[in-house]
Chains A and B, each alone.
Chain A
Amino acid sequence: MELYTVIKKEELNSITKKLVIYAPDIAAKAQAGQFLIIKVHEKSERIPLTFSDWDKKNGTITIIFQEVGFSSIELGKLKTGEKIRNLAGPLGNPSEIHNYGTAVIACGGLGTAVAYPVAKALKEAGNKVITLIGARNKDLFILEKEIEAVSTQVIYSTDDGSKGQKGFVSDLLKDLIINKKEQINITFVIGPPIMMMVTSEVTRPFNIKTIASLNPIMVDGMGMCGACRVTIDGQIKFACVDGPEFDAHKVDFKELIQRLKCYVKEEKQATHKGGHCQCHSHQ
C-alpha cells in the first residue's frame, strides 16, 4: 500500500472526524504526547495534529480532528483510499511517563483524542488513572469506551448537565481535590488553552505537578520558524522542539491565546475565497 493512504474514515460526531492512515515507520516510533505535521495537498498549509492512536503491527496511525478551519476541512474531505501528500512525524518530545502513583487527566473537547494515548501509557506504567472529561453537551463526547478502558475511573461534566455533572472540567478537578480528598501526584491538562489555563489554576494552590500540552501555530514543526514560541517562566521556548508539554504553572496562557488569533482574518479569506480545492476530484 502507498504511504499515507487513508485506510479508514469515521465521523465521531457532527464536528469530529477520525482518520486511520497507513504510515508504518511513523507508527513504529510514535509515543504519547507527540504530534505530526500534515500537508494534505500540494498547495496546503502544514498543520500540526497530535496522535490519537497508532498500531505498530498494522503500520497505521490515527488522527482525530474537528473541521474548524480551512485545512482541517480540507483534511476532512479526504476519502478512504485517498492519500495525504505529506506527513512528518513523530515530532516533539513524548510525554514523561512514569509510575507517579495517582495521575489525573483533565481534558475537554477534542483534547480527549490527545489524552487517550497519555492515559493508556500512564495506565500501562502502573498509575491509578482518573480521567476527567468535559464537553458542551452529551453528544460531543468522543472515545468514551476507549478512554474508559485505559482509566481507573472516568468522570464526565457538561455545560448543560446532559451528561455527568453540570459545569466544567475544572469543577470536577476541584471536587476531586477538595471534597473527595484524592491524593494526586500529577495532573495532565489537555484541551483548549482557556480550559488549560483555568484548570491548571485549580492545582496551583495544592502544589500538584501539572503538565499542559500546548497547541500553538506551527509551520515546520521542527525547530526552524519560531512561530510556536511560547513563554515559559519568562523565557521563550519553542513548543515543537522544547515541548509540546510544559509545566502548566509556568505557561503564559494569555499570550498563547492571543498568538492563536494571529490569522483569524486570513483563515476566513482562505475558507471563503479559495475554499474549494481544485486540484482533486473531490468537492
Chain B
Amino acid sequence: MSQSSISKEKQVQNRFKAVDIPKQEPKDRIKNFKEVVLGYTEEQAIAEASRCLNCSNAQCVKGCPVEVDIPEFIKCITQKNYEAAIAKIKEKNSLPAICGRVCPQEEQCQKLCILGKKGEPVSIGRLERYAADVEQEKGLKIPKTAASNGKKVAVIGAGPAGLTVAADLAKLGYCVEIFEALHTEGGVLVYGIPEFRLPKSIVKAEVDYIGKLGVKLTPDALIGRLFTIDELFQNGFKAVFIGTGAGLPKFMNIPGENLNGVYSANEFLIRVNLMKAYLFPEYKTPLGIGKKVAVIGGGNVALDAARSAIRLNADKVYLVYRRGKDEMPAREEEILNAEEEGIEFKLLTAPTKIIGDEQGNVKAMGYVTMELSEPDPSGRRKPIPIKGSETTMDIDTVIIAIGRTPNPIIQSATKGLETVAGGIIVIDKKTGKTSLDAVYAGGDIATGEATVISAMESGKIAAKSIHEYLNQK
C-alpha cells in the first residue's frame, strides 16, 4: 500500500471528528492576558482542511454573512497554497484574522456544514484564522486597487463596519477618510474584546492593511462635535457612512448602582483593553478591582468581563444571569472557556440592590432566584422571581453587562437623520441608506447590538450602494 493511500484512509476514518486546536491550559492562562487559543500548526490545518467534502452546492457559504467562498479557500490550504487561500477569503472579507477568531461560526457557516449532520462540522473559523495568521507572519500583501477616481467618502467610526466600508471603497478607487473618535482605530475590537481573545497586534495589522489601501485614518475626531455631517459635505466629501457602534451602557435601575466598585462592562473593558489597565502602573489608567466580583449578564461581553476579572487576581468571579445556561446569548466556546477558568455561574439569579459601606464602596449584593415560565407563543421562557427567595451575597465589585443604547451625539447634531427606538439610525436594509441623501449607516448603530461579522456585512452592503450612487453622479 502506498503512503498516500494510508494517509487517505486515515483521513476518511477521522472525517467526522474535528482536529482539536491547541489552547493555553486554564491554570496558566488565568495568570496572563495572552491569547487562549494558540492556533493550528500547519500539519493540523492541513488535516482539518482535508475533512472538507468540497460540496458543489456548498451550504456553508450560505451561512456566511459576507459569502466567503469557503470550500475554495479550504482547498487551497490542503494544497499548501496559503497565498491563494487568503486571497480567496479577502475577495469578500477584509478582516479574516479577526473573523477567524471572533465570528460565531457555530451559528453561521459551520452550522450548515454537511459533516455536522453526522459528526463535527469542518472548523472553518480556525482555518480562516490559520490562513490569515500565515499571511500576517509573512507581512500583509497589498492588493491592487483601482486608479483613484478622486471622489471623497467619509467613514465615521473605525470599527468592523467602518473598516469594511473603507477597504471596499478604497479598492474601487475612492479617497476614503475614516474619522475615529477614540485615540486608536478598531472600535469594539480594541476597546471591547480582550487581548486573550483577540490580540491587539492582530487588529493593528488589519488596520495597517486598510491604511495601506490608501485610506486616511484620522483619530481623536468626534463627528457631531468636531465636524458635523453637513460640514463633511462642505469639505468635499460626496458620501458619508456612519458606523459609530453601540454606545451608552445600560444600568439595571436598582439601588446602589453608583457606588464605587460598580462598573459598566464598557468602562471595565475600556480600562482593561483600550487603556491597558492590566499593565498598571506602567500604563497609567487605574482599575480598582476587588477580590469578589459579580458580573451581571449572559452575553459575550459579560464573559469577556468575567474572564478579564479572573486574570486581574480576583479570588472569585461570579457570572450572574437571570435565565438558564441554555438561554445565554454568549458563544458556547466562550462559556466553556469561562467554566474551565473557574468562573462560577449563578444562573436564574437577578440582582435587586447593591449595598455599600460607609465610604460608599460596594460590600454586598441583594438578589432573587428566578424560575422560567412556560414558553410564550414566541417560544421564549420568561424569568419570574420566586417569592421569598431574596438574599444577599458578599461582593466588592460589580460589573454590569446588560447591553447598550446608541450613542446620541451624531443623531442630535444631524437634522433630518431619522432614528427609532432610543436612537438607532433607520436604514434601508438592502442599501444601508439613511433618511438623508448620500448618508449611509451600518453596524450596531443601525441594527442594534449584534456581531462583528454582521457589522461587516452591513458595511459591505453600504459600500456597494455608495459605489452605485457615486457612479451615477
Contacts and interface: CB of A to CB of B under 8 A. Distances in A.
B221 interface: yes
A226 B288 contact: no
15 contacts: A86-B220, A88-B222, A88-B226, A89-B222, A220-B270, A222-B407, A224-B248, A224-B266, A225-B271, A226-B251, A236-B258, A241-B407, A241-B409, A258-B260, A269-B280
Chain B CB within 10 A, most for which of A43, A91, A225, A258: A225
Contacts of A141: none
B267 A223 contact: no
A237 to B, nearest CB: 10
Contacts of A265: 288
Given A263-B288, A270-B281, A46 B275 contact: yes
A90 interface: yes
A219 B267 CA distance: 8
A227 interface: yes
B225 interface: yes
Interface of B: 181-183, 191, 219-222, 225-227, 247-249, 251, 253, 257-258, 260, 263-264, 266-267, 270-271, 275-276, 280-288, 359-360, 407-409
B360 A258 contact: yes
The A contact surface, by secondary structure, is mixed
Given A241-B248, A241-B407, A226 B264 contact: yes
A222 B222 contact: yes
A47 to B, nearest CB: 10
A29 B251 CA distance: 32
B266 to A, nearest CB: 5
Interface residues of A, number: 44
Contacts of A267: 286
Contacts, number: 129
Contacts of B276: 43
A219 B181 CA distance: 13
A201 interface: no
Contacts of A273: 281
Contacts of A138: none
Contacts of B286: 45, 263, 266-267, 269-270
B454 to A, nearest CB: 20
B270 A225 contact: yes
Contacts of A45: 275, 284-286
B229 to A, nearest CB: 14
A231 B275 contact: no
Most chain A CB within a 10 A radius of its CB, from B225, B275, B284, B407:
B284
Nearest to B219: A86
A261 interface: yes
Contact of B283 (A43, A88, A223, A229): A43
Contacts of A241: 248, 407-409
A224 B285 contact: no
Interface string A264-277: 01110110011000
B211 to A, nearest CB: 18
Nearest to A91: B225
Contacts of A25: 226-227
A90 B225 contact: yes
Contact of A223 (B280, B360, B409): B409
A274 B282 contact: yes
Contact of A259 (B182, B258, B282): B258
Contacts of A231: 258
Contact of A262 (B226, B247, B248, B288): B288
A258 B263 CA distance: 15
Q: Which of the listed residues B220, B251, B266, B408 has the most CB atoms from chain A within 10 Å of its own CB?
A: B220
